[in-house]
Structures are given as structure tokens and as C-alpha cells.
Structure 1
Amino acid sequence: MARLTKAHLRYLKHHGIEPEEAFDASGLKRAEYRPRMKAEGKFVAYGVTPCHNGHALRNRYGNCIQCSPASIAFARRSELSGYLYLARSSGLGLIKVGFSSDDPDNRIYIANLDGYGGAWDWQICATVWADHAGAKEIAVHQSLSDFRAERAWIRNGTAIVSKELFDCDLAAAIGALSAHLTAKELQMIEYR
């Protein structure tokens, strides 16, 4: 059995991770500790094989959170409640499936200012407040993966490839979204 070191505890505290969210993965392979961590609601594994830099804190997917602290925010995002939204660009003929922790209208306003995916005419078609909205957004993306429409666009001088766009009709997107909502959340969908 491994123990969290003082350095580990400082690192976890700095990133807002409680010691109770840590899982002792001593002697387990990633394929073994990942489902157990998920079932137990654990966020970080210790007692794992150190990465190439000698760090021994990993997320459920086996990635070193010390080499890539940005993965902490991304993983935490899946636990957040917030708005899931569907937006459509008439110009592109595509659907955007997104998540906003507070204001989907502001998110679309910014998407239009930035020309997200090469479009400046995004309009929200549906929104719903959901628990674990970040995880549900990813699940909807996976459900629509056959329709994924990656588009390169420029943001602040940097080329970006969009991952939230789908070449499907609104009914298909609503169906994919609905499949991942609770009965209560289904009743709260707001169509525009």
C-alpha cells in the first residue's frame, strides 16, 4: 500500500483536490484501477508507476496530472452542472453541441464574435440545465460521432480545429441529447 507524500498533498491542495478523492492504485494496472476509481468517485490515483519525469499522480485515464495540470480542469469539467445547448449555423448547415456552466447565450455571443468553426451566425435552438453536464456533453458528442464535422478556424491568430460540430439535422441532435438526460432534465429542455 502506498501513501500520499507531503509533496503530493501540497500538490493536491494547490489544485483543489481533496485527499479523499485520491485512490491507492498500488499493484493495479490502469485497466483495473480506472473502473474502481470511477465507481468510488475518486479523481486521482497514487501508488502508480511513475511517469517519465518521476511523478506518481495520475488521473483515471492514466495521465500524469503533474506533467499536465490542465487535465485536472478538463476532468473536473465533466463533474460540473450547467447548461447543455444545441446551436445551429445556417451558413454552415451544422449543429454545435456545447456546455456552459453559467450562460449559453454569452457562449454563443462569443462564438459568433470569434467566428467559431468559420461561422458568425450561430443561434441557440435548445438549452437544458443538467447535472454532470460536462460528461453529458462528451456523451452526446460520442453519440453523434458519425456526424462529426471538424472545421479549422482562426482564433487570436491561432489555427484551431473545432470538435463540437456535427453535420446532422436538429432532430438527430435533440435525440442524442435526450438520450443522456434524466426524466427531470428532459422536462426542462427549452426550445427556441
Structure 2
Amino acid sequence: MARLTKAHLRYLEHHGIDVDETFDASGLKRAEYRPRMKAEGKFVAYGVTKCHNGHSLRNRYGTCIECFPASIAFARRSEMSGYLYLAKSADLGLIKVGFSGDDPDNRIYIANLEGYGGAWDWQICLTVWADHAGAKEIAVHQSLADFRAERAWIRNGAGIVSREMFDCELAAGIDALMSQLTAREVQLIEYR
């Protein structure tokens, strides 16, 4: 049995992670602690093999959260409720599957200002409020992986490759999204 050190506790507090969200993974491999953490709603494993920098706090995917603090926000995102949306660019002939914690219309407004994926004509076709929306977005992306249409574009002077665009019919995107929703969430879908 491992213990959280004072340094661990300070790090967790600094990043807004409650001690109740931690999991003692002593003696377990990632393949063993990951499903248990998910089932128990745990976020950070301790008592794990130290990373190459000597840290011993990892997320449920095995990433060192001290070396890669951005992984905290990414992992938190998957647990968040929010809006899932499907948008379409007529110019590119592609759909975009996205997530917004509060305002999908603003998200698309910004996508159009920035020319997301090389398009300035994104229009929302569907929105739905869902629990664990970030995780559902990832699941939809995975189910549409054969249609992924990565496009390089420039954002704030830096090159970016989009990963949320798909070269498929809108109906295929809707089907993929609906397969991730609960019956209650399906009733909340708003088509535009």
C-alpha cells in the first residue's frame, strides 16, 4: 500500500484534484488499474512505477500528470457534461463532430473566424446536451475513424492538424452520435 506524500497532496490541491479522486495502484499494471479506476470514478493513480523524471502520479491512461499537466484538463474534459454538436462545411464537404461545455454556437463562430480546417462556412446541424460529453465525443470520433479527414491549417500563426473533421454523409455522423447517447439524451437532440 502506497501513501500520498505531502508533495503529492500539494500538487493535487494546486490542480483541483480531490484526494477522493485518487486510487492506490500498488502492485497493479496499467491494464489492471485503468478499468478499476474508471468503474470507481477515480482520476489519479499513485503507487505506480515512477516515470523517467521520478514522478509517481498518473492518470488512468498511465500518463504522468506531473510531466504532462495538460493531460489533467484533457482527462477532466471527458467527464464533463456539455453539448455535442455536428457541423457541416459546404465548401469542404466535411462534417465536424465537436464538444462545447457551454455554447456550441460560440464554438462554431470562433471556428469560422479562425478558418478551422481551412473552412469559414461551418454551420451547426445538430446539438444535444449529454452527460460525459467529452468521452462521447471521443467515442464518436473513433466510430468514424475510417472517414477522418485531417487538414492542416494555421491558427494564431502556428500550424495545426484538425482531427474532428470527417468525410462522410451527415446521416452517418448522426448515427454515430446517436449510438453514444442515452434514450433521454436522444430526446434532447435539436436539429437545425
Tell me the TM-score normalised to structure 2 length. Answer: 0.99
Could you tell me how far apart the structure 1 residues matched to 2:114 and 2:25 are? 43
Match of 2:135 in 1: 135
Q: Once the 2 structures are TM-superposed, how far is the Cα of residue 172 of structure 1 from its aligned partner?
A: 0.3
> What are the superposed Cα offsets for residues 14-62 of structure 1, whole Å, 9 maximum, x if unpaired?
1011001100011111111111111111100000111010000000111
Could you tell me how far apart the structure 2 residues matched to 1:146 and 1:12 are? 38
Q: Once the 2 structures are TM-superposed, how far is the Cα of residue 133 of structure 1 from its aligned partner?
A: 0.5
Match of 1:12 in 2: 12
Q: Which structure 2 segments of 5+ residues have no match?
A: none
SS in 1 for 2:68: coil
Say if 2:72 is the partner of 1:72. Answer: yes
> What are the superposed Cα offsets for residues 74-95 of structure 1, whole Å, 9 maximum, x if unpaired?
0000011100000000000000
4+ runs deviating over 3 angstroms:
none
| Count of aligned pairs between the two proteins | 192
Could you tell me how far apart the structure 2 residues matched to 1:28 and 1:136 are? 27
Q: Once the 2 structures are TM-superposed, how far is the Cα of residue 151 of structure 1 from its aligned partner?
A: 0.4
Could you tell me how far apart the structure 2 residues matched to 1:183 and 1:134 are? 18
SS in 1 for 2:31: helix
Q: How does 1:49-64 map to 2 (within 5 A)?
A: 49-64=49-64
Q: Once the 2 structures are TM-superposed, how far is the Cα of residue 189 of structure 1 from its aligned partner?
A: 0.5
Match of 1:27 in 2: 27
Match of 2:103 in 1: 103
Match of 2:47 in 1: 47
Match of 1:117 in 2: 117
SS in 2 for 1:78: helix
The alignment yields a C-alpha RMSD, in angstroms, of 0.5
Q: Which structure 1 segments of 5+ residues have no match?
A: none
Q: Once the 2 structures are TM-superposed, how far is the Cα of residue 116 of structure 1 from its aligned partner?
A: 0.1
Amino acid at match of 1:33: Y
SS in 2 for 1:152: strand
Tell me the TM-score normalised to structure 1 length. Answer: 0.99
